[in-house]
Amino acid sequence: MKKLAFGLMRLPQLDENDATSIDIERVKGMADAFIAEGFTYFDTAAPYHGKHSEIAFREAVAKRYPREAYTVTDKLSLFMIEKAEDMQNFFDEQLERLGVDYIDIYLLHALGKESYAKAQAFHAFEFAAQKKAEGKVKHVGFSFHDSAEVLEQILTEHPEVEYVQLQINYLDWEDEHVQSRKCYEVAVKHGKQVLVMEPVKGGALAVVSPAVESLLKGYNPDASPASWAVRFCASLEHVVMVLSGMSNEEQMTDNTSYMKEFQPLNEEELAILEKAAEMIHNDIAIPCTGCAYCVEDCPQNIAIPEYFKIYNHLKQFQGTSEKADRQRYARKSQERGKASDCIACGLCEGHCPQHLEIRKLLKDVANALE
């Protein structure tokens, strides 16, 4: 199986303010292009696009291709479930939205120290194993956002899992907060197959500063910044799949062009990425991946990831884009709550896989852009 997965997390929308308004016809075209190039792996979850990501998969893939033509991964999102008895209904609804009789890989979603405690209390690992025994799931695992120490505990206590999905990219590889390398090494030690999420860090490694782009283009003028990021992850020996949340046809074309005949990074390329990571770390203000989990419960309807993206762009390009960034912020804040509308309830921070101090950061955004 080729190492590129179509992540159905940031799909094209008919209305940018309505996550459920997926442009199904464009997704069909993207899925067709993906499969035509020999790729087969799709990744979705109930929180993506307000459960409509799964429906988009059904319409674009499940209804239009034979079951053996694709692999689909979905997730048991415990943060959407209030009691253990609800897991069965949650799973049944997923199968219906996906339009399939079984899920190839079923992952407990976004485990960390606190969510692992909930998974244990709900006997979620046992539930996933039961679905596998019933033939409703072919393989089980979990996606993970926490320290290598917590990952060690989970894999020690649940050796039955087959897959671990980790946030890995060249920017986070040596980051002490994300601990990409350390988590990868723990998974390898336990003999697990590694799936990679956020290889381009929510787009932060796809649009880089002119200095970083010049560094990358100096070695290979034809390679996009995103291609460097995805190839870094795919070059890791124990990585079996790299997810890319593709939002448009251009990203699809670019990703499939270099991954259909994948070539691992050489030593010189790895050294260049090490230098690029150092430069980006000096530029990036807020390490947000744009997952949008933080906006689910926001009482002020603040477009947190969008504002962080605008703020990062402002800082990354050192004020040269200030007028355009302010205009983008003004347009968005006319439709959604402003950064200064934050009431500091903290609900967003409880959902953030990156453990960002969102309340404090929104003050920074307001000071810079309002």
- Residue 34: band (very low, low, confident or very high) from pLDDT cuts 50, 70, 90: very high
Which of 298, 193, 288, 206 minimizes the C-alpha distance to 237?
193
pLDDT of 318 > 80? The answer is no
Q: State the pLDDT at residue 207.
A: 87
- 23 pLDDT more than 70: yes
DSSP annotation of 142: E
pLDDT of residue 138: 98
pLDDT at residue 274 in the model:
97
**Residue 269 contacts by C-beta under 8 Å, 6 or more apart in sequence?**
219, 228, 231
The reported pLDDT for the residue numbered 316 is 74
**pLDDT reading at 222 higher than 80:** yes
Helix (H) / strand (E) element for 104: namely: strand 103-111
Residue 199, token pair as written in the block:
């290889």
Q: Which residues pair with 73 in a beta bridge?
A: 43, 105
Q: How distant, in Å, are the alpha carbons of 65, 77, 150, 152, 221 from that of 146?
A: 37, 16, 7, 11, 36
At the topology level of CATH, where does 4-283 sit? TIM Barrel (3.20.20)
Alpha carbons within 13 A on the beta-carbon side of 93: 14
198-201-202-206 Cα dihedral, nearest 10 degrees: -120
pLDDT at 321 over 80: no
Is 70 exceeded by the pLDDT of residue 319?
A: no
Residue 320 has pLDDT above 90, yes or no: no
Domain with CATH 3.20.20.100 in the chain: 4-283
Q: Tokens 């464009």 appear where?
A: 26
Cα R_g (the chain), whole angstroms: 20
**Among 275, 286, 356, 350, CA closest to 314:** 286
pLDDT > 70 fraction of the chain, expressed in percent and rounded: 99
Evaluate whether 55 touches 74 at the Cβ level (below 8 Å). no
Sign of the four-CA dihedral 85, 89, 95, 101:
positive
Q: Is residue 345 pLDDT above 70, yes or no?
A: yes
Average of per-residue pLDDT across 239-252: 97
DSSP string over 58-82: IIIIITTS-GGG-EEEEEE-GGG-S
In this predicted model, what pLDDT tens digit does every residue of 285-313 receive, in sequence order? 888 888 888 998 899 999 999 999 899 88
pLDDT exceeding 90 applies to what percent of the chain?
Answer: 84
